[in-house]
Amino acid sequence: MSHYKSNLRDVEFNLFEVNRIQDYLGTGVWVDLDEETARDILVEIERLAREVFAASYVDQDRIPLKLEEDGEVHLPESVLAGVRAFQEGGWGRLGLPIEMGGMPVPPSLGWATQEFQLAANTTTSWYSDAGLFARVLFEEGTEEQKEFAKLSVEKNWAGTMVLTEPDAGSDVGAGSTKATDQDDGTWHLEGVKRFITGGEHDAADNIIHLVLARPEGAIAGTKGLSLFIVPKYLVNEDGSLGERNGVFATNLEKKMGLKGSTTCELTFGADRPAVGYLVGDVHDGIRQMFLVVEGARMMIGTKSMGTLSSGYLNALEYAKERRQGADLTEATDKTAPKVPIINHPNVRRSLMTQKAYAEGLRALVMYTAWVQDQVILHPGDDKWERRSDLLLPLVKGYSSEKAYEQLAQSLQVFGGSGYTQDYPIEQYLRDTKIDTIYEGTTGIQALDLFFRKIARDQGSALASLASEMTEFVKGGVDDDPLATERERLGVMLDDVQTHIGKMVEHLMGSFAGDSEEIYKVGLLTNALLESLAEVIIAWRLLVHAEIAIGKTEDPFYKGKVESARWFLRITAPQVAVRRASAETEDGGLMELPVEAF
């Protein structure tokens, strides 16, 4: 039986009952896509994920990968079988523009299918689909490079994003990999990069590395970086593979989780030139690379959300079947029958919390994806682009943190059995921990949220979103069954706005001459990310509850209403505590001597 338990019903609810993507299917770039086809795509990808991707989930964790002397890495056959099934189905073209030979679908539908793949088996999913890399190259490249991007899709070549260096870490601008112009349209790269996901494997005939490097003579920092295409094998004019390029994996990281994903140290130009091509013939590397990074951040948030959902559903199934202890009302009766542990209050509390977070994170991801749909539908209205930018650090940062936290509770439901490899939760935890670190740690996401997405935007995107939430709070009817929850949401929104106001006050103080006021901002950013995510999720879950409230004879809809109520019940007090902490922050922690730690 597959470890992976999807929630196709909730995915469809988000897409078609809440966000109503069918209202704009059949129009614009999606003119050839209707609701029936969209639902068929979901069903088929869910089946592929559950039956095929999930089949190699254990193998990719427990069959050790080895870096051979020739720099090659060979994946388990079961993983390669999943990759082949995905590619033979043509699913790598899903979401790509027609001009690339793709099948255009709204981002919301694309991310829904990604949830299934990533949660069933992240590593197989990553080896299968390099559409993000090809699309960025197609959008940013020269005419010749656009053709190269189309060729890479046709031939199912893999792709990587190559940023991190051993001494630079998250400080991308400190990178020292050098690019030397050869005056013939090519560049030679020299340097070492680290933590490169998919840097070497045999799931594709070629791997196209997108590499940040500093041209000789360029300025320091991120502004001096350019983006280069560095293929594993050089490509001949007729599209066939040429000689081996001078980029090799020189180490394979041993990791806590995602062991089947090759995380490599890549060395450029050690024994032979590493030939690269400047993307777009322009030195605009950090902006170009962040088109990939932003897609990767959305992917990580989707991955962690989907994994939590499967973890919760595994725990729920176990709690319904596992009998242990008498009902609490009969605890003193030694002859009382044992009951399923879902009857025990503490287990039930844990399960409802997991359900609320799993559905809440899906609501956040799917709403963000719907906003991305609006960016395409309304290209002249930058409101949607700014809103998407605002939501992205929440999707990546909050989803990854809460998924890991709540998966620990999924394991707890299993008791000691959950700590063994008899059940998938221990692997879920190991495979999910990286999500809080990948593509910018949660602390980096929180800094990005406040400084770039709120302060630099002068609060415009946030104000627009808050206005919609305020209208929802006021939107109840007489005898509104959600009146208490609307009121609670309004209080949460006020708490978040006060929290932000204190941070802006400290920021202004730092501009006015008291430079250490900025420390107070830094001490409050992670708390802001949590609170803002929670108020937005609470809003979206109440939107769900409003749709479901008249249909509660169906357990699915009853569960939607109750998980929304539960989420507000457990998060509203936390948002209030963070507001109080923001109002009293004095920065004293930064004055503490290092020796005191």
Strands 207-215 and 158-162, sheet pairing:
parallel
Q: Say what the pLDDT of residue 507 is.
A: 97
Give the C-alpha separation, 72 to 389, whole Å: 38
Residue 152 within any structural domain of the chain: no
Q: Say what the pLDDT of residue 205 is.
A: 97
Assess whether 95 and 24 both reside in one domain. Answer: yes
Closest CA to 217 of 263, 181, 163, 270: 181
Assess whether 400 and 487 both reside in one domain. Answer: no
Residue 492 within any structural domain of the chain: yes
Q: Which of 253, 283, 313 is the C-terminal boundary of a domain?
A: 283
Segments in 63-142 forming alpha helices (H) = 77-88, 107-120, 122-128, 131-140
DSSP 505-558: HHHHHHHTT-TTHHHHHHHHHHHHHHHHHHHHHHHHHHHHHHHHGGGTTSHHHH
Assess whether 241 and 115 both reside in one domain. Answer: no
CB atoms within 10 A of CB 171: 12
Give the C-alpha separation, 531 to 22, whole Å: 32
Q: Are 357 and 402 in contact, with CB atoms under 8 Å apart?
A: yes
Residue 149 within any structural domain of the chain: no
Integer CA distances (angstroms), 282 to 141, 142, 215, 228, 389, in order: 9, 9, 12, 10, 24
Residue 141 within any structural domain of the chain: no
Give the C-alpha separation, 454 to 504, whole Å: 10
Structure tokens at 570: 């457990």
Q: Which of 80-89, 169-178, 375-384, 524-533 is the least confident region?
A: 169-178
Distance of CA 459 to the CA centre of its chain: 24
Check which CATH number belongs to the domain holding 394 and give it.
Answer: 1.20.140.10
Assess whether 114 and 161 both reside in one domain. Answer: no
Q: Say what the pLDDT of residue 17 is.
A: 98
Q: What is the 3-state secondary structure (H, E, C) of 375-393?
A: HHHCCCCHHHHHHHHHHHH
Residue 72, pLDDT above cutoff 80: yes
**pLDDT tens sequence across 304-336:** 999 999 999 999 999 999 999 999 999 899 999
Assess whether 278 and 292 both reside in one domain. Answer: no
Check which CATH number belongs to the domain holding 81 and give it.
Answer: 1.10.540
Strands 207-215 and 178-181, sheet pairing:
parallel
Q: Say what the pLDDT of residue 478 is.
A: 82
Q: Say what the pLDDT of residue 534 is.
A: 98
Integer CA distances (angstroms), 504 to 60, 501, 521, in order: 47, 5, 8
Domain that holds residue 228: 157-283
3-state helix, strand, coil in the chain (%, to 5): 60, 10, 25
At 171, the pLDDT band (50, 70, 90 cuts) reads confident
Residue 428, pLDDT above cutoff 90: yes
Q: Say what the pLDDT of residue 520 is.
A: 98
Q: Give 466-471 contacts, CB < 8 A, sequence gap 24+.
A: 466/493, 466/497, 469/493, 469/535, 469/536, 469/539
Assess whether 399 and 486 both reside in one domain. Answer: no
Residue 101 within any structural domain of the chain: yes
Residue 491, pLDDT above cutoff 80: yes
**pLDDT tens sequence across 208-257:** 999 999 999 999 999 999 999 999 999 999 999 999 999 999 999 999 99
Assess whether 202 and 233 both reside in one domain. Answer: yes
Assess whether 294 and 370 both reside in one domain. Answer: yes
Give the C-alpha separation, 512 to 269, whole Å: 49
Q: Which of 112-126, 168-182, 455-469, 523-537 is the least confident region?
A: 168-182
Q: Say what the pLDDT of residue 355 is.
A: 98
Task: Collapse the DSSP code of 215 into the 3-class scheme (helix H, G, I; strand E, B; otherwise coil) and give the result.
Answer: strand
Q: Which of 283, 298, 326 is the C-terminal boundary of a domain?
A: 283
Structure tokens at 499: 């929290």
Task: Provide the b/e sequence for 344-359 (b: ≥16 CB within 10 Å).
Answer: beebeebbbbbbbbbb
Catalytic residue, from 165, 265, 439, 585: name it: 439
- 593's enclosing H/E stretch is none
Residue 439 annotated in active site: yes
The structure's pTM equals 0.97
Residue 138 within any structural domain of the chain: no
At 130, the pLDDT band (50, 70, 90 cuts) reads confident
Give the C-alpha separation, 175 to 21, whole Å: 42
At 168, the pLDDT band (50, 70, 90 cuts) reads confident
Assess whether 92 and 125 both reside in one domain. Answer: yes
Check which CATH number belongs to the domain holding 199 and give it.
Answer: 2.40.110.20
End-to-end CA distance of the chain: 49
Residue 376 within any structural domain of the chain: yes
Q: Which of 129, 148, 170 is the C-terminal boundary of a domain?
A: 129
Give the C-alpha separation, 316 to 42, whole Å: 23
The length of the chain in residues reads: 597
**pLDDT tens sequence across 79-97:** 999 999 999 999 999 999 9
Q: Are 321 and 340 in contact, with CB atoms under 8 Å apart?
A: yes
Domain total of the chain: 4
Residue 560, pLDDT above cutoff 80: yes
Q: Say what the pLDDT of residue 164 is.
A: 93
Give the C-alpha separation, 16 to 12, whole Å: 6
354 versus 168: the higher-pLDDT residue is 354
> Which residue(s) pair with 179 in the sheet?
189, 215
Residue 194 phi/psi, 5-degree rounding, is -135, 160
Assess whether 322 and 419 both reside in one domain. Answer: yes
**Which amino acid is it at 290?**
F
Assess whether 206 and 293 both reside in one domain. Answer: no
Assess whether 241 and 329 both reside in one domain. Answer: no
Strands of 114-225, DSSP E: 158-162, 178-181, 187-197, 207-215
The whole-number average pLDDT for the span 346-365 is 98
Q: Say what the pLDDT of residue 170 is.
A: 82
**Which amino acid is it at 92?**
G
Give the contacts of 531 (CB within 8 A, at least 6 positions apart): 492, 495, 496, 499, 574, 575, 578, 579
Q: Say what the pLDDT of residue 383 is.
A: 96
**pLDDT tens sequence across 249-282:** 999 999 999 999 999 999 999 999 999 999 999 9
CB atoms within 10 A of CB 430: 16
Residue 144 within any structural domain of the chain: no
Percentage of residues of the chain with pLDDT beyond 70: 100
